[in-house]
A and B are shown apart, each in its own frame.
Chain A
Amino acid sequence: MNTFVYTEEKEKEFQRLIVKYPNSDSMMLPALWLVQEQIGWISPESMIYIANKLKKQPIEVHSFASFYTMFNLKPIGTHHIEVCKTLSCMMMGAPDLKKHIKDTLGIEPGQTSEDGLFHFTQVECMGACGGAPSIAINGEYHENMSPSKLDSLVRECKSCK
């Protein structure tokens, strides 16, 4: 089994944050964010690592991580496309974006493209209703989207790999 350790930079950030809370239990969210920033998902090994660090059982870390939808419990594609599907975005064109992704990248919600470059998720309200329809690529918001704008963002992703 592979082991997981924080990089030096993440460890430093972990130590900076842990003193800010009255109890190290509060580090659960920040600690998992650091893991996901480092390897893109929350691997079983990383759960054991965090459990040891926070004096928890690995199952407690798993139970926690599986509650919060933003943590990837499986590895995903390089570029994560999240399309908001809630009411304002639905009315303003989110279904067209979904169809466009299916047509151009060949993936449905929850799937990763064959080349591993793109992962597509439909998400609930992102808090960007004023710019509906909204999407996020690797966490960065893009509002007032259209299929053609999506194409150019996909091209950008492909060129930067």
Chain B
Amino acid sequence: MQVKIVSQNFDIPNAHTLKVAQENGRYSTIEKLFTMNPDDVTEEVVKSGLRGKGGGGAPCGPKWKYMPKNDPRPSYLIVNGDESEPGTFKDRQIFEYDPHLLIEGIICSSYAMDIHDAYIYIRGEYKFWSDRVDAAIEEAYAAGIIGEKVMGHDFALNITVHRGGGAYICGEKSALIESLEGKRGHPRLKPHQKECEWFFGNPATVNNVETIASVPYIVENGSDAYREFGTKSSPGTMLFAMSGAVKNPGVYELPFGVKMIDFINTLGGGMQDGKKLKALIPGGSSCPILTAEEVENAVLDYESMWDIGSTLGTGGMIVIDDSANMVEVAKNLIEFYHHESCGQCTPCREGTGWIDKILKNVLEGSGSEEDLNTILDVCGTMNGKTICVFAPAVSDIITSIVKKFRSEFILEFNKN
């Protein structure tokens, strides 16, 4: 079931050190890379159908094409390793076990877009992992792999690790850039037409860690080789994280198109003893929840997940068993969102707090059915009326829990 493209070296001891990494194929792509035209590299990534692994699933290659050509300003690659979506812990594996794959991916991507400065924004809590990436970068500088001349070629590249400060919203690409510019992580308004991002007024591209780590394989083996895995519209593989009430939680690389229930029962080892599957949040907590029946038929690719009214997100699955009280689940998640709302837009700042208060009352025994209408009403006010997609995501997850597990809320009211 597993296909190891990004996770190929995860099981090799000390693959985070340059020596072992090189013995296991790291930086072997670079020679081929420099025989290619930068535009051809981008074209290959477009053809591969590589999609962003940070949650949105937008195609990576076309995004690179938004970078202006022959622009006098310097341009930047910003790698998003803020990974804060509950249930998601996949980029961490790349930082820990194969940071040189990420560096190799940054070299390939920077060459394609004619970028000479890259930043890796790593969430603040990941101190151990940002130190590890830092150490790998130092090794790469010392060996002449990056720096003035990338492996002896006439191409300069600097890579810097930037450690975050514990704000979930900085995983949103424009908030991340604001943070990198030394400001509060407030998402920016999006332009009407598709364009690149802007870092201090200079063109920039923001890509997820796993996306960048997938690039070397495509450069080395070509887009057709990448397309051999996955489905037609969701080609390739993804690192799926599994947590909650399963026997073997962890991160597994799978081609798109695998049946969710098979994944849970084989690699996940099935449910923990004596527990029964009740619900599952498929791709980080911002994706609409699935009931046990929906899980039976769910398939792990973007389109299939959309078809059943949810999304694949970051692929971080949270498995919920029958001992969980869904009102508590909703309360737990809304506490998270209330804490993490950046406070910029009123519907989100007030809405998350409002629902948090209502659910607190419900759990304390003073709820009524009228509360459910208020929750859905507040969700409606949050959805689509804010600068970023934080509020719509809150609306999606909370609405889905209320609608699919309404009876549990009623049960809670009847306890009074």
Q: Enumerate chain A interface residues (CB-CB to B < 8 A).
A: 17, 20-23, 25-30, 32-33, 54, 63-64, 67-71, 85-88, 90-92, 123-132, 136, 139-141
- Identify which of B167, B182, B184 contacts A26 (C-beta below 8 A): B182
| Cα-based distance from A54 to B124 in the complex (angstroms) | 21
Interchain CB contact under 8 A, B339 and A124: yes
| Cα-based distance from A129 to B242 in the complex (angstroms) | 8
Closest to B166 in A: A70
Q: Judge whether B74 is part of the interface by a CB distance below 8 angstroms.
A: yes
Give B78-94 interface residues, CB cut-off 8 Å to A.
83-89, 92
Could you jot down 7 A-B contacts, CB within 8 Å?
A25-B181, A67-B165, A87-B87, A124-B336, A127-B83, A139-B125, A140-B127
Find chain A residues with CB under 8 A from B117 CB.
22
| Cα-based distance from A64 to B164 in the complex (angstroms) | 12
Find chain B residues with CB under 8 A from A20 CB.
158, 160
Q: A86-B332, A91-B324, A130-B251 known; A124 and B340 CB under 8 Å?
A: yes
Find chain A residues with CB under 8 A from B321 CB.
91
Q: A29-B165, A30-B163 known; A129 and B89 CB under 8 Å?
A: yes
A21-B160, A85-B335 are known contacts; what are 7 more A-B pairs with Cβ within 8 Å?
A: A25-B182, A64-B183, A64-B184, A127-B126, A129-B87, A129-B249, A132-B243
| Cα-based distance from A50 to B281 in the complex (angstroms) | 42
Chain B at the A interface: SS class: mixed
Interchain CB contact under 8 A, A86 and B200: no
Q: Judge whether B353 is part of the interface by a CB distance below 8 angstroms.
A: no
Interchain CB contact under 8 A, B181 and A125: no
User: Nearest Cβ in chain B — how far from A142, in angstroms?
Assistant: 11
How many B residues touch the partner, as a band?
35 or more
User: Nearest Cβ in chain B — how far from A94, in angstroms?
Assistant: 10
- Identify which of B88, B124, B162, B165 contacts A129 (C-beta below 8 A): B88
Find chain A residues with CB under 8 A from B244 CB.
87-88, 91-92, 129, 132
- Identify which of A26, A85, A136, A139 contacts B181 (C-beta below 8 A): A26
Interchain CB contact under 8 A, B86 and A23: no
Find chain A residues with CB under 8 A from B83 CB.
127
Find chain B residues with CB under 8 A from A25 CB.
181-183, 200
Interchain CB contact under 8 A, A69 and B332: no
Find chain A residues with CB under 8 A from B243 CB.
88, 129-130, 132
| Cα-based distance from A127 to B91 in the complex (angstroms) | 10
User: Nearest Cβ in chain A — how far from B119, in angstroms?
Assistant: 8
Closest 3 CB pairs of A and B: A68-B165, A70-B166, A28-B182
Closest to A125 in B: B86
Interchain CB contact under 8 A, A129 and B241: yes
Find chain B residues with CB under 8 A from A125 CB.
84-87, 168, 285, 336
Interchain CB contact under 8 A, A130 and B249: yes
Q: A91-B245, A91-B324, A124-B336 known; A68 and B164 CB under 8 Å?
A: yes
| Cα-based distance from A64 to B83 in the complex (angstroms) | 21
Find chain B residues with CB under 8 A from A85 CB.
332, 335
- Identify which of A17, A67, A92 contacts B185 (C-beta below 8 A): A67
Mask for B321-358, Cβ within 8 A of A = 1, else 0? Answer: 10010001100110110011010000000000000000
- Identify which of A17, A90, A131, A140 contacts B332 (C-beta below 8 A): A90
| Cα-based distance from A139 to B243 in the complex (angstroms) | 22
Find chain A residues with CB under 8 A from B202 CB.
22
Closest to A17 in B: B160
Interchain CB contact under 8 A, B332 and A129: no
User: Nearest Cβ in chain B — how far from A154, in angstroms?
Assistant: 20
| Cα-based distance from A64 to B125 in the complex (angstroms) | 18
Interchain CB contact under 8 A, B125 and A91: no
Interchain CB contact under 8 A, A130 and B242: yes
Find chain A residues with CB under 8 A from B160 CB.
17, 20-21
Find chain B residues with CB under 8 A from A23 CB.
181-182, 200
Interchain CB contact under 8 A, B89 and A68: no
Find chain B residues with CB under 8 A from A26 CB.
162, 180-182
Interchain CB contact under 8 A, A127 and B123: yes
Q: Judge whether B205 is part of the interface by a CB distance below 8 angstroms.
A: no
Closest to B159 in A: A20
| Cα-based distance from A100 to B83 in the complex (angstroms) | 29
Q: A88-B318, A91-B244, A132-B243 known; A127 and B166 CB under 8 Å?
A: no
Find chain B residues with CB under 8 A from A92 CB.
244-245
Interchain CB contact under 8 A, B250 and A130: yes
| Cα-based distance from A155 to B68 in the complex (angstroms) | 58
Find chain B residues with CB under 8 A from A70 CB.
124-125, 165-166
| Cα-based distance from A64 to B166 in the complex (angstroms) | 12
Q: A67-B185, A70-B125, A90-B332 known; A129 and B318 CB under 8 Å?
A: yes
Find chain B residues with CB under 8 A from A27 CB.
182
